[in-house]
Amino acid sequence: MDKPKILVVEDEEKIARVLELELTYEGYEVQKALDGLEGFQMVQKESWDLILLDVMLPGISGIELLRRIRANDPHTAVIMLTAKDSVEDKVSGLDLGANDYVTKPFQIEELLARIRASLRFHKKPAVEEVHQDWLVVGDLKLNEVTREVLREETSIELTPREFDLLAFLMSHSRQVLKREQLLNHVWGYDYYGDTNVVDVYIRYLRNKIDKPFGGSPLIHTVRGVGYVLKESK
């Protein structure tokens, strides 16, 4: 089995360094981020088995980062590192879906025990279990149950409307869809806007699922008709 991957998001370099050494020694694969923004980037870039997340961080706070993580990832175990007396932090962290918290200053043995427990109880569902819920077109994957979207295994954050539009395009891949069809299915028959809104949202989607990935675009314009999602060959 691969080494569990742990991300340490902690701005106090000394603590981050100690955690990196201890966890590496325990056989985990460890990387650290020294502020909230860097942590957020690393969460978007890769998947982790567990995230140790300090609450008080420059850039994006630990609570805000947790909220962003949980917005599209219910599975990764998160242990919050909280200041000694901050009951509020503990409560909002647990409300937002942290699996556990450890109060600073902590004993490394206690933290290691919590990490082992979290990794045991928060295993990600096996790929087979969720496979049937994935729509797949080329290297783009969308899960209608967990509402995850991945391209080249990179997680992509979409708004609910963008997600619904992409899900509809993917479930009708290689079919040319008229703007009116997209409007009706994604916005609803009682939507009183004009079809320009479809073009606007197609642009948002392109900026998220096509542009950042260089290669070949998946969303194509069919002039005078509408749009089609397919692999370009």
> What character string, x for contact with Ca ion (CB under 5 A) and - otherwise, covers 173-212?
----------------------------------------
- Which of 11, 49, 100, 164 contacts Ca ion by CB under 5 A? 11
Q: Sign of torsion, CA 78 84 89 94?
A: positive
Tokens of 153: 């295994």
Distances (CA, A) of 76 to 14, 16, 43, 46: 25, 20, 10, 11
**Smallest gap, in angstroms, from Cβ of residue 47 to Ca ion?**
24
Is position 54 an interface residue for Ca ion (rule: CB under 5 A)?
Answer: yes
Is position 37 an interface residue for Ca ion (rule: CB under 5 A)?
Answer: no
State which residue, 9 or 43, has the beta carbon closest to Ca ion: 9
Is position 148 an interface residue for Ca ion (rule: CB under 5 A)?
Answer: no
Is position 18 an interface residue for Ca ion (rule: CB under 5 A)?
Answer: no
Cα separation of 135 and 173, whole Å? 10
Is position 89 an interface residue for Ca ion (rule: CB under 5 A)?
Answer: no
Residue closest to Ca ion when measured from CB atoms:
56
C-beta atoms surrounding 126 within 10 Å: 8
**Smallest gap, in angstroms, from Cβ of residue 31 to Ca ion?**
17
State which residue, 90 or 208, has the beta carbon closest to Ca ion: 90
**Smallest gap, in angstroms, from Cβ of residue 15 to Ca ion?**
8
**Smallest gap, in angstroms, from Cβ of residue 126 to Ca ion?**
35
Q: What is the DSSP code string of 161-227? A: HHHHHHHHHHHTTTS-EEHHHHIIIII-TT--S-THHHHHHHHHHIIIIIGGG-S--SEEEETTTEE
